[in-house]
Amino acid sequence: MRIGPYELKSPFLLAPMVGITDAPFRRLCRRFGAGMTTSEMTTADISLWSTDKSRHRLDLDMDAEPRVVQIVGADPLELATAASLCVARGAQIIDINMGCPARKVCNKLAGSALLQDTKLVSRILESVVSSVAVPVTLKIRTGWDPSHRNGVEIAKIAEASGVTAIAVHGRTRACRFKGEAEYETIARIKNKISIPVIANGDIATPEKSLEVLRLSCADGLMIGRGAQGRPWIFRELNHFFDTGTQALPLAKNEVRDIMLDHLGDLCQFYGETIGVRVARKHLTWYCAGLKNSQEFRSQVVRVDSASEQVRLTREFFGQQNQGNSLAA
């Protein structure tokens, strides 16, 4: 799959997720074969970029290509200005969020709330595309609610505005993350436009990935919650896609080393105080896939130092029975 001048090495991409897909997690997912990673959603209000939170979100992974920054907002000029500044910082692709269902975003008429206003969608996309010389992509949902699935209309507007690829989460804004994702709308979108279409939603296994590709006719898949605590899912997906067989499970020492590397990278990126706090949620997700990890999880998410997180992680793995897999 190609986005602008960038030929992606894998059709499996990491979905941008606020509070999750920071630079350390993106690096980890690329290590396991993610074809592209995108920054956490960043506000287009540049007056807020001086905060530590925005500074971390705008870390551009200068060793990665393509470097993708996702921005969110509702004002065409504000979004265009933010896009230009991101490109000046080194962004190689600008992604616009029109898929976030969070109330605090939709209450500002941004994110998936924009799907209700097709004229504003057109103005935003034309403004951003004309302001930068790099590819602009778009993330949407299938519509506002099940009675208003206007994803095809939005996709046509996006293509006409010069957007180079579109990712579609298989739920409406009203559905949030409830129920099962539907891929029929994504297939209709793919049938109506010529730019790449990326399907998103409920993709957590290699088998499901091939099913979604078949049902949606998409050019690629975007993995979100399926990568939480399992950044190696991209290794599994690529292996299954290429060979039709399951990849061998990671050995316990490999899982241990992944977790320890992640803990170290978080503390280096954020500093120990924030790094330890951010690590807690990742440790919780890792534990969801580990046998007999209840006591370990209860302890490791309560300590206040990086050294204690590392010590408890090493102890947990050292106490496990010998074997190749710790999968729950």
Q: Which residues are catalytic?
A: 100
CB 167 within 8 A of CB 137: yes
Q: What residues have CB less than 8 Å from 56, skipping those under 6 apart?
A: 22, 23, 269, 270
d(CA 96, CA 69): 9
Q: Tokens 């706090």 label which residue?
A: 277
Dihedral sign, Cα of residue 143, residue 146, residue 148, residue 151: positive
Can you list the pairs that 145-150 forms with residues at least 24 positions away whose Cβ atoms lie under 8 Å?
145/172, 145/173, 145/174, 145/175, 146/172, 146/174, 146/175, 148/115, 148/116, 148/172, 149/185, 150/115, 150/118
**Can you give the length of the chain in residues?**
328
CA distance 130 to 96: 14
**Measured CA angle at 120 (ends 192, 221), to 5 deg:** 40
Amino acid at 96: I
Q: How far apart are CA 34 and CA 26, in angstroms?
A: 9
Task: Record the tokens describing residue 83, joined without a space.
Answer: 């896009």
C-beta atoms surrounding 302 within 10 Å: 10
Burial 128-166 (b: 16+ CB within 10 A, else e): bbebbebbbbbbbbbbbeeeebbbbebbebbbebebbbb
Nearest to 142 by CA among 180, 189, 104, 177: 189
